[in-house]
Amino acid sequence: MRAVPVALPLLTLIILVQHPNWHSLSQALSLAPVWANLLFQTIVPSLLSLLFYYRGLNGVKASHATIAELAFPATGLLLNWLILHQTIDLGQWIGFAIIWMAVLHLSRLRNDPKVPETSVSHLSDLAC
């Protein structure tokens, strides 16, 4: 929350420096379809998908949940490249490789009998 007192004034200053056309902006934001689309986009793809995702992780072992969380950004990068044909630079490929090496390493650790398994729901109970 400490970023809010800095970020909000900074963003306001950036907008004011760009001299936006306030009249056309106010007309665009007064349209009901714009607000309906914004509401739909925030609730359906974002909130509901993450709600189902984290609800599904509730009964999963902590090691599996960690692997799923680590695979999330790398899978997004791969899908952007394959489906959307986005250009991926060298740094992103290196990050992708590091993430998948960590996922592979963690997946091998969970078979180690010295590492105790814990469920995510148990860890969330401890945090409260």
Q: Are residues 49 and 28 in the same domain?
A: yes
Grouping H, G, I as helix, E, B as strand and the rest as coil, residue 83 is: coil
Say how many C-beta atoms besides its own lie within 10 A of residue 99's C-beta.
17
pLDDT tens across the length of the chain (128 residues): 455 577 778 888 888 888 888 777 777 777 788 778 888 888 887 788 888 878 887 888 877 787 778 778 888 888 889 999 999 899 988 988 888 888 788 777 755 556 555 554 554 454 44
- Phi-psi category of 26—alpha, beta or left, where left has phi over 0 and alpha has psi -120 to 50? alpha
Cα–Cα dist 5/65, whole Å = 34
H-helix segments, 18-113: 22-29, 32-41, 49-57, 62-82, 90-109
From the list 45, 24, 43, the residue with the least C-alpha distance to 35 is 43
Say how many C-beta atoms besides its own lie within 10 A of residue 107's C-beta.
14
User: How high is the pLDDT of residue 2?
Assistant: 55
Whether the predicted model's global pTM rises above the 0.85 cut:
no
- In the chain, the amino acid numbered 51 is L
User: How high is the pLDDT of residue 90?
Assistant: 92
Range of the domain at 46: 1-58
Q: Are residues 79 and 125 in the same domain?
A: yes
Q: Are residues 65 and 127 in the same domain?
A: yes
Domains contained in the chain, number: 2
Q: Are residues 41 and 92 in the same domain?
A: no
Q: Are residues 76 and 97 in the same domain?
A: yes
Q: Which of 58, 75, 92 is the last residue of a domain?
A: 58
